[in-house]
Structure 1
């Protein structure tokens, strides 16, 4: 078998190794390392990276990778699995999405050795890990108090991305263009295919999202011929080609009538905005037929706040817009 090295460390066939990548240190002189766990099968195969904790408060992805490690599911028969449970150790320690300088690592790629802290983390990832992989799953969640129903996001104009997303088989697959300076975009420029899995909300475990994330990862590994068995999907995979947000017209207290993942019909009453003093009550109606792929869970809202993310597959688009 070919020699395999990552971050300067050689990994032998059948070997499992923990590698610490030094990023920086705190003002207290405490060293901050990013641990990665590499498990190589006894036979040749693809190299798959499981990346979580890009945003330090998105713990569902961390738990998915942790359970994969804890259950021995990271050990392939063929190929190599690289597990990175926490990319943003700073954010994790501070319950924060960003690093201490306020920057978002996932808007800092390809990074710089001498740049901002976020840029330095991105640089190490792009130089120590990404060049050595074939494929990757980048695990994320919704923002604070905003839940995402289990979904894969990928650029569906790329045939390999479609293949990976269909193999993962989340309840929803969203067509998602690249965002500037994101890991997914910069990895693609280097010929690497990375799909994003989103599920749940920040700082809160979502057991369904965790379960779907683990099962989807195993299905993808089976598709890549890294393992021989994987769970069968429980639901149909719906391809979401376009989305729209329902936003609050007024500030107040929001209560929803629907749940994440639900199909809602055009002009359906999906929630209510009231004020704390009983002076007004406003019904929130959906402008389109589609699926609730994201839902705001915080009651206190301001005018313009996102309340629901509605996704439309081909059947929904046909119903909304006709045969255009």
Structure 2
């Protein structure tokens, strides 16, 4: 059988059976420091799909960087079929400055498809589209909540096709949330090109948490196994079906003041339940935060200082009549039983 052709990206070629980190030029800073987007290419000896894994499109969403690092340490990649493109830090500008945005104050995930002669965000979006997206069959884009907020591990997909749903369920996150595609997002331009993209949301900006990292690593390996890129050995088995939701709401602060939360992510709540209390710093008034919908808490603020109208609790309506807490506990137990990379690290 003839050897598989090399994988071409930028000005580089990676031979079949090899892996290499390459740097794609993005820009030059005002002090003449060059900035690149680094891509680790694993080009398998045998044919198969091309999958990209991206993180830190928002520079302060660092949890995905750790997830990509652990995936690249997996022994399962030694017999990879197809090609893996791992981009742990897409937005290097924001990552270095602990910021969601680029120096031009734009949100990269609202700047696709971009332009080679546009703003800095537009140029980076165009580079990612032409060098990564156009070479891929499937993508997994890793995100977290913004700073001072946290998200329950969840996969977000648009109702675009059966394969997207199949891959979302194979990932095995606690929740699969159907959500509309935002204009200018990576997921939006990928959908137009026929590339299935899963968006993983978990944890908090500028923070790691071990549960979210492990769910992310396990989910990516399961998706790769479902795509036929890796074998079953070393891939954590999922014995728990993801919860499904197609509707979610934010409960907002009824007043400004200090918030005391009574519920956390992963908890089931009922309509009319008191989720927390907002109090005046002087103690002269208190106002309850009441759930207007029942469902699962999939995100919440971590900041006790709130203004009137701030989003406090993100609640998803769950289709199944189940105990969300029990399901999440089962997933945590499965991850504890699995042999994962960096098992001895405490994060």
TM-score range, shorter chain: over 0.9
For the aligned residue pairs, the C-alpha RMSD in angstroms reads: 1.4
* Residue 181 of structure 1, CA deviation: 0.9
State TM-score, norm by structure 1: 0.94
* Residue 195 of structure 1, CA deviation: 1.1
2:332 corresponds to: none
Q: Alignment partner for residue 140 of structure 1, among 139, 143, 147?
A: 143
The answer on 1:182 being equivalent to 2:173 is no
The answer on 1:61 being equivalent to 2:64 is yes
Q: Alignment partner for residue 256 of structure 2, among 245, 251, 256?
A: 251
- Contact 1:112 1:123 (8 Å CA) reproduced: yes
Q: What CA distance in whole angstroms lies between the structure 2 residues aligned with 1:73 and 1:202?
A: 29
**What are the residue-to-residue correspondences of 1:189-208 with 2, within 5 Å?**
189-208=192-211
* Residue 16 of structure 1, CA deviation: 0.3
The answer on 1:265 being equivalent to 2:270 is yes
The answer on 1:99 being equivalent to 2:102 is yes
CA offset digits 1:118-147 (Å, max 9, x no partner): 001001011111111100000000011110
The answer on 1:172 being equivalent to 2:179 is no
1:25 corresponds to: 28
- Contact 2:71 2:221 (8 Å CA) reproduced: no
Q: Alignment partner for residue 287 of structure 1, among 268, 271, 292?
A: 292
Q: What CA distance in whole angstroms lies between the structure 2 residues aligned with 1:74 and 1:22?
A: 27
The answer on 1:215 being equivalent to 2:218 is yes
Task: Evaluate the alpha carbon distance shift between residue 209 and residue 120 of structure 1 in structure 2; reply closer, same or farther with a 3 A threshold.
Answer: same
State TM-score, norm by structure 2: 0.88
* Residue 15 of structure 1, CA deviation: 0.7
CA offset digits 1:14-37 (Å, max 9, x no partner): 110111000001111111011100
1:242 corresponds to: 247
Q: What CA distance in whole angstroms lies between the structure 2 residues aligned with 1:154 and 1:89?
A: 26
* Residue 176 of structure 1, CA deviation: 1.1
Task: Evaluate the alpha carbon distance shift between residue 67 and residue 119 of structure 1 in structure 2; reply closer, same or farther with a 3 A threshold.
Answer: same
Q: Alignment partner for residue 238 of structure 2, among 233, 238, 252?
A: 233
Q: How many residues align?
A: 316
Unaligned runs of 5+ in 2: 322-347
1:83 corresponds to: 86
- Contact 2:113 2:122 (8 Å CA) reproduced: yes
- Contact 1:266 1:286 (8 Å CA) reproduced: yes
Q: What CA distance in whole angstroms lies between the structure 2 residues aligned with 1:72 and 1:274?
A: 52
